[in-house]
Amino acid sequence: MNLRKRQRGAAAEVHTSAMNDIMFFLMLFFLIASTVTNPNVIKLMLPKSSSGQSVSKKTITVSVTKDLKYYVDKKEVAIDNLQNTLSGYKSLATELTIILYVDRTVAIQDVVQVMDIAQKLNIKLVLATEPKG
């Protein structure tokens, strides 16, 4: 009977220093790529929603900042000229959808004002939100 201890083979080791470098470069790449994707977007704090869907038809964006500046496709427009500007877009496309980006601190009356203009022009309007999480 052989009671001697068996000699184990070489111990398996995992060197993770290369993986740390790879993860750092991936994180750096995604941070840079995320800032470059939409450099001219108007910064707004959107309200959160748990049920959201994307819109894929012909769309224009209307943004309302917290200091009540109105933008149509990144161009500043006075509230008095908003209806004329949107009717110009309506004549270019038959099925048009407005994506309304409103800062969460804006009063609801200012949002309803844009919604009324869209209703008068018979344009579908979607309120943009951020996902909860």
Four-residue CA torsion sign, 48, 52, 53, 59: negative
Specify the pLDDT at position 120.
92
Report how far Cα 89 is from the mean position of its chain's Cα atoms. 22
Report how far Cα 126 is from the mean position of its chain's Cα atoms. 14
> What total of structural domains would you count in the chain?
1
Please say if the pLDDT value at position 49 is more than 80: no
In a domain, 69, yes or no: yes
Specify the pLDDT at position 133.
63
Specify the pLDDT at position 80.
92
The pLDDT confidence band at residue 92, using thresholds 50, 70 and 90, is confident
In a domain, 25, yes or no: no
The pLDDT confidence band at residue 8, using thresholds 50, 70 and 90, is low
Q: Give dist(CA 115, CA 121) in Å, integer.
A: 10
Which has the higher per-residue pLDDT, 14 or 58? 58
Task: Check which CATH number belongs to the domain holding 72 and give it.
Answer: 3.30.420.270
**pTM, to two decimals:** 0.57
Interval 94-122 mean pLDDT: 90
- Mean pLDDT estimate for the chain: 81
Phi, psi of 34 (to 5 degrees): -70, -30
Interval 66-83 mean pLDDT: 92
Which has the higher per-residue pLDDT, 17 or 3? 17
Query: Smallest Cα–Cα separation from 113: which of 69, 82, 67?
Result: 82
Q: Give dist(CA 18, CA 81) in Å, integer.
A: 58
Q: How far is residue 54 from each of residues 18, 30, 108, measured CA to CA in Å? A: 39, 23, 23
In a domain, 94, yes or no: yes
In a domain, 60, yes or no: yes
In a domain, 92, yes or no: yes
The pLDDT confidence band at residue 38, using thresholds 50, 70 and 90, is low
Range of the domain at 96: 48-131
Specify the pLDDT at position 55.
43
